[in-house]
């Protein structure tokens, strides 16, 4: 397994990571754990979501549980 292929983008705002939306609501769900975060490899989509929620993009590798700001 190539762990580099597991690297993804997540969104952080303050000390919390975006998990997603709450069903049937416009409210967002956040977690203090990067492992709970919504993940994508689509940078354009991640940048759009980060801009809308006022967050920043973070590279995250769940295999080694490492997160780095972009």
The model carries a pTM of 0.92
**Mean pLDDT to the nearest integer, 9-28:** 94
Q: 58, 70 in Cβ contact below 8 A? A: yes
pLDDT at site 2:
83
Token pair for 13: 């705002």
pLDDT band at 3 (very low <50, low <70, confident <90, very high): confident
> What is the 3-state composition of the chain as percent helix, strand, coil, each rounded to the nearest 5?
25, 40, 35
**Mean pLDDT to the nearest integer, 41-55:** 97
**Mean pLDDT to the nearest integer, 18-43:** 94
State the chain's mean pLDDT as an integer.
Answer: 94
């Amino acid at each position: 397994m190539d762990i580099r292929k597991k690297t993804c983008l997540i969104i952080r705002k303050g000390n919390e990571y975006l998990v997603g939306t709450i069903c049937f609501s416009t409210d967002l769900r956040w977690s203090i754990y990067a492992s709970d975060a919504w993940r994508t490899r689509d940078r354009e989509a991640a940048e759009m979501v980060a801009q809308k929620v006022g967050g920043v993009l973070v590279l995250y590798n769940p295999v080694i549980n490492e997160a780095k700001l972009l």
